[in-house]
């Protein structure tokens, strides 16, 4: 079995390369040894398991496709909103430091994906509890609800930089 000290996390991809979830590296090694998954990307460290030695997998892909029911929506968090909007203020393109409700909450605006955007402090203060029409401002595109496994992972946990290629996240997203 894997020796101690290999307790990392491994990104598990479906047979279609779609990100599924994060498993322990130990679990990933078991899957690889059982030929239920194959390594896609590995660390420099080598783990000795059973009679073989293999690099610690960072990303593995299932050999058989599994159908997974996903939750309807991605949890709304500050981190996930910043990720969706590329860490920039949707109004001026400056560095985002806060979350703005497009329709202010005082005017019945909801705390939902389609009403929440990343904003800089200055725009947030300037806009205050006014509507976009009153400000004469416009959004580059309507705020959307992100979907898919990659977003589910991004919204809830720290992302290993070596998973980026598989999650399709921009370089600017901090891990």
- Per CB under 5 A, 94 contacts Zn ion: yes
- Per CB under 5 A, 161 contacts Zn ion: no
- Per CB under 5 A, 89 contacts Zn ion: yes
- Pairwise CA distance, residues 18 & 166, whole Å: 8
- Per CB under 5 A, 92 contacts Zn ion: yes
Contact 104, 130 (CB under 8 A): yes
**CB 120, min distance to Zn ion, A:** 3
Contact 115, 130 (CB under 8 A): no
Token pair for 134: 């009153």
- Pairwise CA distance, residues 70 & 145, whole Å: 14
- Per CB under 5 A, 102 contacts Zn ion: no
- Per CB under 5 A, 99 contacts Zn ion: no
Q: What angle do CA 84, 70, 80 make, to 5 degrees?
A: 20
**CB 135, min distance to Zn ion, A:** 12
- Pairwise CA distance, residues 88 & 77, whole Å: 16
Which 116-155 positions form the footprint of Zn ion (CB under 5 A)? 120, 123
Q: Binding marks (x or -) toward Zn ion, 53..72, rule CB under 5 A?
A: --------------------
**CB 83, min distance to Zn ion, A:** 18
Q: Cα dihedral angle (156, 10, 149, 64), rounded to 10 degrees?
A: -160
- Per CB under 5 A, 113 contacts Zn ion: no
Residues forming contacts to Zn ion in the complex (CB under 5 A) are 89, 91-92, 94, 120, 123
């Amino acid at each position: 079995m894997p020796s101690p000290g290999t307790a990392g996390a491994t990104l598990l991809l479906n047979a279609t390369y779609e990100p599924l979830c994060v498993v322990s590296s130990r679990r990933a090694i078991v899957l690889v040894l059982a030929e239920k998954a194959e390594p896609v990307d590995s660390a420099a460290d080598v783990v000795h398991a059973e009679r073989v030695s293999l690099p610690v997998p960072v990303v593995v892909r299932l050999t058989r496709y599994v159908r997974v029911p996903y939750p309807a929506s991605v949890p709304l968090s500050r981190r996930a909103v910043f990720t969706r909007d590329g860490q920039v203020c949707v109004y001026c393109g400056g560095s985002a430091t806060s979350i703005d409700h497009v329709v202010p909450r005082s005017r019945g605006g909801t705390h939902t994906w389609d009403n929440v955007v990343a904003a800089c402090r200055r725009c947030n203060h300037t806009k205050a509890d006014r509507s976009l029409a009153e400000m004469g401002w416009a959004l580059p595109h309507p705020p959307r609800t992100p979907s898919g496994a990659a977003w589910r992972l991004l919204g809830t946990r720290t992302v290993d930089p070596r998973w980026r290629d598989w999650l399709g996240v921009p370089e600017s997203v901090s891990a």
